[in-house]
Amino acid sequence: MSDDARFGLARRVTLPGPFALDGGAVLASVDIAYESYGALNADASNAILICHALTGDHHVASVHPRTGKPGWWTRMVGVGKPIDPARHFIVCANVLGSCMGSSGPASIDPATGAPYAMRFPVITLRDMARAQALLMDHLGVGTLLAAVGGSMGGMQVLEWAATFPERVRSAVVIASAARHSAQNIAFHEVGRQAIMADPNWRDGNYYAPDDAPPTAGLAVARMAAHITYLSEAGLTEKFGRKLQARSTKSFGFDADFQVESYLRHQGLSFTDRFDANSYLYITRAMDYFDLAEEHGGRLANAFAGSRTRFCLVSFDSDWLYPTSESRAIVHALNAAGAAASFVELSSPFGHDAFLLDVPELNRVVDGFLRAGEA
């Protein structure tokens, strides 16, 4: 196996349409940026699709070209790790609507020769899964050994299992849910309004070379969202009420507290790698997600007759997608007669635990995947 195949190869492919979307619009073609690791075996039975979260991308285990930082899931993906390029053909695709090479609002509209901006059609998570299925067809993968994802990635895995049940042997859904709650939608709306209130947003038309993008609004959106990814205990342990680089309060509105400085840094650094319009589109797709609604109002219907093996994982400190959301999926799987295993893991990290150092998560995923390979 070559080093390129083992450690990651980034590509972008244009897949011919027409590609019909849930909202009724049609794309003439679809661009998908993706990375692959490892090699497809002779009978194409070792493919694992990794689905990324809201602000993630396809650089799952390689250096990010914009930030220079390691891939976002190097704890899970790599030689000797649960998802292993020595055993698996691993693919991670940038989702439809994003800004790292796949078709989205920053893409060129062939009808006008200019970026789509807000003329790009609203998309759904099922649209994302369908685009990924086209990519798998292109790569010669008929059936996935497994689809794996956390947060919004887990929602895409659920869409795969419901929309293409015959194509998914195993599904790993981590820190996720089968629909977006009112609270989830509310947090997203705060972020969208922050972006749209930025005078540089200009109704989404900020792609000209001399235009300043709405970085202030996007930074605030990221700050608000980032709070939901953490836990109160984690924030208290890490920051408490400690002051930032000072011994006394300033009696002003600078970042007096370390937690304020941390959030500002998270917001500003996010604007270097993400597009504000993509944030609008992807959060809207998440808010529209309701797997039961897509299947007659009963979640079990989404998994009726499924032969897919499911592994559900939640974290006890995750209040964004709490354990009750995973249990609801497990109950639906049980009602449908599907094979399901479930575990709640303990972690102080909140929702972001699936991205951080939780060794027990690696053991769970590794054991589940190996059982499916036997």
Q: Pick from 248, 283, 318: which residue ends a domain?
A: 283
Q: Are residues 87 and 108 in the same domain?
A: yes
Mean pLDDT in residue range 121-129: 98
Domain residues for the domain of 172 are 3-180+291-373
Candidates 103, 107, 151, 278; catalytic one: 151
Q: Are residues 74 and 11 in the same domain?
A: yes
Q: Pick from 241, 260, 283: which residue ends a domain?
A: 283
Domain tally, the chain: 2
1: confidence class by pLDDT, cuts 50, 70, 90: very low
Cis previous bond, 18, omega within 30: yes
Q: Are residues 100 and 146 in the same domain?
A: yes
Q: Are residues 18 and 55 in the same domain?
A: yes
Mean pLDDT in residue range 77-106: 97
Task: Give 89's contacts (C-beta < 8 A, 6+ positions apart).
Answer: 36, 37, 38, 39, 40, 41, 46, 47, 48, 141
59 a catalytic residue: no
Candidates 318, 326, 347, 352; catalytic one: 318
318 a catalytic residue: yes
Nearest to 269 by CA among 220, 229, 226, 219: 219
Q: Is the pLDDT of residue 3 over 60?
A: no
Q: Pick from 249, 283, 317: which residue ends a domain?
A: 283
What pTM was estimated for this model as a whole? 0.95
Q: Are residues 10 and 113 in the same domain?
A: yes
Distance CA 49, CA 249 (A): 49
CATH number of the CATH domain containing 265: 1.10.1740.110
CA 374 to chain CA mean position, Å: 28
Q: 176 and 155 in contact (C-beta within 8 Å)?
A: yes
Q: Is the pLDDT of residue 5 over 80?
A: no
Half-sphere exposure at residue 52, Cβ-oriented, CA atoms within 13 angstroms: 27
7: confidence class by pLDDT, cuts 50, 70, 90: low
287 a catalytic residue: no
Cite the DSSP H helix spans in 198-275.
Answer: 215-229, 232-238, 258-270
Q: Are residues 176 and 189 in the same domain?
A: no
Measured in degrees and rounded to the nearest 5, phi and psi for residue 48 equal -120, 125
Q: 65 and 35 in contact (C-beta within 8 Å)?
A: no
17: confidence class by pLDDT, cuts 50, 70, 90: confident
Q: Are residues 114 and 210 in the same domain?
A: no
Q: Are residues 77 and 149 in the same domain?
A: yes
Q: Are residues 14 and 124 in the same domain?
A: yes
Q: Are residues 113 and 244 in the same domain?
A: no
Q: Are residues 138 and 176 in the same domain?
A: yes
Q: Are residues 56 and 156 in the same domain?
A: yes
Q: What is the pLDDT of residue 67?
A: 87
Nearest to 59 by CA among 94, 98, 89: 94
Q: Is the pLDDT of residue 4 over 50?
A: no
Give residue-wise pLDDT tens across range 331-351. Answer: 999 999 999 999 999 999 999
Q: 191 and 221 in contact (C-beta within 8 Å)?
A: yes
CATH number of the CATH domain containing 358: 3.40.50.1820
Between the alpha carbon of residue 311 and those of residues 167, 171, 205, the distances in Å are: 16, 6, 42
Candidates 170, 347, 351, 352; catalytic one: 351
Task: Give 273's contacts (C-beta < 8 A, 6+ positions apart).
Answer: 64, 66, 67
Q: Is 206 left (phi over 0), alpha (psi -120 to 50) or beta?
A: alpha
